[in-house]
Structure 1
C-alpha cells in the first residue's frame, strides 16, 4: 500500500462528479480547492442557481443519466460524490427509508455480487408496491454509479479513485454497510476500497450552524488510508440560556436582554487548540458585498416546535450558531434589541436568502435563483464542510474559510447561456430532455396520524 505525503493530493488531476448536486454546495467547495466538478441536478430552480453561479451542470435525473447517457460523461472523472435526498431517512420525515433499511442492505449486497440493473429495479418496484417511498432507492445510486464506471468503455473500464458521500445521521448505517461491502466484497470487477465512516458536526469545521451529517470517504486500494477531516473548531455546548423554548414576548425579552449582556466567548490562546465555534453574529455582522451586516443583537425563534410540541419553539441568540438550516429558514422570526439602555425589543427583518446562505457558509452574494430558494438553501451541503471533506479525501490541506467569505462573482449572460446549452439543451430554456415540471416537486408527505386523547 502506498502512502501519501502530507498536503499532496493523491490524484494528479481530481475531477468530481456530484450526484444530487443541489444549488452547488459541494461544487462551490471544489471551486475553492481548484478542483473541477460536474453536477447532476433534477430541480429546475436549483439548476438556475447553478447556472447563475457559473457551475457546470446537467439538468437531469441521476438514475436516467446512469441508465441512458453514462457514456457521455467526461471520462476523466475520478471522484464520485453526492448526498442522495434525505427525506425518507430523516427523523423529521415519514421514515420509509428507516423501515426499509434491511431491504436496502440486501440490495447493496446484490449490487456488489453483480446483480443486473433489471433485477435491482424489479426489487425496488416491489419495495415501492409494499408502501415504500420511491426516493429510498436513490441512496443506492452512488454504488450503482461506482459499478457502472467499471463497465464503461468510454472510461476504459476504470473505477473511480475516490468516493465521498454525506447524508443525514440516520443514514450512517447505510454508509457502514457500503463500507463493509467496498472493503470486504468490493465491486463486481474486484475493485476494493479503504473506507472511513462517521457522523460529524458541521460547527466543528467552521460552519456557523449546528448540523450533523453522516459521511463516508473511500479511497481505492493502493491510494493510501483515508482519514476524516480534522476538526478546526470546538463542538457547540448548549447552556441553560440556549434552551429557552417559550414563544411568549416576555421570554423573548428576557433572553435577548441576557444575550446583550453576555460576553462573547473568548478565542483560544494555546497553539493548535481548536478555535471557538462560529456564531450567527460572526457570520452576519460584517458588511460584505451587498450584505449590509446585522449590527444590533438579535434572537432567532424557529417557526416549528420540538419534541412533538408545536408550542416549544427553539430560540437562539446571535452569539450562538444557527440551528440546522432547513427549507423553513425564511419563516424564522428575528427579534432585535433596539437600544441597550431602554431594552426595547421589536420583530426585525427575517433572514434573506443571502443571509440564510451565509449561515450555511455560502459566499455572500451567491446568486440564488428560481423559486423555492429557502428549500435550496436548506437542502445544500454547507460549502465549507464540503471543502473539508474533499480536502481530506484527496489529501489536500484544510481549506481557507476566508475564501468563502468573499463575494461570489456571478456568471455573465454569455456564460449562463453556454452552461444552460450544455445542461438543458438550449441557451434560454429547458428542453424535452430535462425532467418534466410535474416531476420537479418532491411528493408531499402524507398527513401524520393524530394521537388519540
Structure 2
C-alpha cells in the first residue's frame, strides 16, 4: 500500500527536522516509516514525554535555534517539517493571527525578496500583538537559512512539510507561491520547489477515529518532481448524515470520487477504546450554534470530536443516549488513542491534555510523510503495538536528556524557563506564552 508514487531519484535517507515537535506525533509517524527525526520543542512537559518515548529532542525555542544555534544542527537533516502554534489563527483562539494575516503575507514576500533577518525581526517587533503569530514564518526562515549554512554546504532542504489549522490556508498559499518562485541564495540565484495543492484534509478520511481538519503543504525540490496530497483511505464523517460512510452504510463499499478501490468506513470510538464498554456517549465541552449550553454529543459508534487541549473536560456518559448519571472523563491514554498514539505511549510531565490536543495524529502524519517522501505506508496496526517507556536510570534516557537539555536529570541553564514562558516582549525572541489548562487539572 502506498500513499503516492515514489520518485526514482529521491534521497534514500530522509532525516526530518521537526519544528514545534510537541509530544511526538510526527516523530512517531516518522519512526513507523523507518525515518529518523530530531524535534525542537519549547514546552518542558512535552519534552518530558518525548524523552520517555525515546525521541531525539532539543528543548529549545525554534526561533532561538534558528538565530543562534543553526550550525549545530545535524548536517544531514534534509526534510523540514513543522506545525507552528495555531492558537492565534484558530477559530477558538483570540484572532490575533487572522488580524495580522496581511502583514504576515507581506513579510513572506520580503523574505523571498532577500530581506535580512534583522529587518524581519524589526518588522515583527513593530507588528506587536501575540508573539505566536510570527512563528508561522519560522519554517520559511529555516529553509532560507539552510541556503547559507556552511555546516550544510549550503544545501537546501529536499522536502518541506507543513500543517496547520484551516484558518492558515491563505498563508500556506503564499508559502506555495514563495517556494515555487524560489528561495534566495546569497549569490542571487534561487532554489525552486514544486508544491502540491494546498488542501484542507479530514483526519477521519485517513483512519483517525476523530473529526479533525488540518491544512497541509507538501513541497519538494523541483528536481524531484511534484508531490501529491495523500489519497484518502476512509470516508469522511458527515454530522448531518451520521450513518453515511459508516460501517452500516451499504454505499460505503462503493468506490467514491473516481477512487480505484472502495473507501473504508470511518473509524468509530468503540473500535479503538478497548477498555470502554459500549454503549456510551461523549458530551463536548464546547457549545454549538452560538449556544454554550447546546453541547454536542457523539456516540460510541461515531468518531470522536476533535481532541483539543481541553479533552479531559468532555464528559463520558453511559447508555445509548447518555443519561446524566455520574459522568466520567476520558483518560489521557484514551485521548492519546483517539489521536492514534500507541495505547501505552508514555505521557509525562504536566498539562497532558494540552500535549495530547496539540499533537499531530501519528496515523495522519504517516499518510502525509509517506506522500511527501514517496514511501510505502506500514500497516496501521503498528500504531496499536506497545511503544514502551525508557528507563529513567538507563543510558539511552540519559543520553537523550543530555542532548536535549544539556543536563542528565533536569533542564540545563539554556533551556526555556517556565517563568519566561509566561510572557514575551518580542515576537522573535526565545520565549512565547504558555497556553492551556494547569498541569494539575489535566494530569488525569
1:305 to 274, 281, 287: 287
1:268 to 241, 253, 258: 253
Structure 1 residues 367-406: aligned runs within 5 Å: 367-406=346-385
Contact persistence 2:144–2:183 (CA under 8 A): no
1:220 corresponds in structure 2 to 221
1:140 lines up with 2:137 in the alignment: yes
Structure 1 residues 405-424: aligned runs within 5 Å: 405-413=384-392, 414=394, 415-424=396-405
Structure 1 residues 237-276: aligned runs within 5 Å: 237-239=238-240, 264-265=248-249, 268=253, 272-276=261-265
CA distance in 1, matches of 2:194, 2:109: 17
1:92 corresponds in structure 2 to 92
- Secondary structure of the 1:420 match is helix
Q: How many angstroms does 1:296 deviate by?
A: 2.4
1:451 corresponds in structure 2 to none
The TM-score, its normalising length taken from structure 2, stands at 0.88
Q: How many angstroms does 1:443 deviate by?
A: 5.1
CA distance in 2, matches of 1:241, 1:165: 30
Structure 1 residues 427-446: aligned runs within 5 Å: 427-441=408-422, 442=433
The TM-score, its normalising length taken from structure 1, stands at 0.86
Structure 1 residues 143-154: aligned runs within 5 Å: 143-154=140-151
1:200 corresponds in structure 2 to 201
Q: How many angstroms does 1:307 deviate by?
A: 3.2
1:76 corresponds in structure 2 to 76
Unaligned runs of 5+ in 1: 243-261, 286-292, 446-453
CA distance in 1, matches of 2:277, 2:434: 40
CA distance in 2, matches of 1:35, 1:21: 15
- Secondary structure of the 2:328 match is coil
**1:304/1:5 CA distance change after superposition, 3 Å:** closer
Where in structure 1 do 4 or more consecutive aligned residues deviate above 6 Å? none
Q: How many angstroms does 1:265 deviate by?
A: 5.0
1:356 corresponds in structure 2 to 335
**1:357/1:137 CA distance change after superposition, 3 Å:** same
Tell which deviates more after alignment, 375-384 or 329-338.
329-338
**1:367/1:7 CA distance change after superposition, 3 Å:** farther
Tell which deviates more after alignment, 297-306 or 26-35.
297-306
- Give CA-to-partner distance per residue, 1:130-171, whole Å, 9 cap, x none: xx2111110000000000111100000000000000000000
2:304 corresponds in structure 1 to 322
2:155 corresponds in structure 1 to 158
Tell which deviates more after alignment, 158-167 or 412-421.
412-421
Q: How many angstroms does 1:348 deviate by?
A: 4.8
CA distance in 1, matches of 2:248, 2:421: 44
- Secondary structure of the 1:384 match is helix
Contact persistence 1:86–1:168 (CA under 8 A): yes
1:245 corresponds in structure 2 to none
- Give CA-to-partner distance per residue, 1:215-259, whole Å, 9 cap, x none: 1000001101110001010111124679xxxxxxxxxxxxxxxxx
Contact persistence 1:353–1:374 (CA under 8 A): yes
- Secondary structure of the 1:277 match is coil
- Secondary structure of the 1:222 match is helix
Give the number of aligned pairs: 410
CA distance in 2, matches of 1:202, 1:279: 13
Contact persistence 2:401–2:408 (CA under 8 A): yes
CA distance in 1, matches of 2:371, 2:195: 12
- Give CA-to-partner distance per residue, 1:108-142, whole Å, 9 cap, x none: 011111111000000000000xxx21111100000
- Secondary structure of the 1:364 match is coil
- Secondary structure of the 1:324 match is coil
Contact persistence 2:421–2:434 (CA under 8 A): no
**1:98/1:269 CA distance change after superposition, 3 Å:** closer
Contact persistence 1:198–1:214 (CA under 8 A): yes
Bigger-Rg structure (1/2):
1
**1:113/1:353 CA distance change after superposition, 3 Å:** same
**1:296/1:420 CA distance change after superposition, 3 Å:** same
2:270 to 281, 285, 291: 281
2:425 corresponds in structure 1 to none
2:13 corresponds in structure 1 to 13
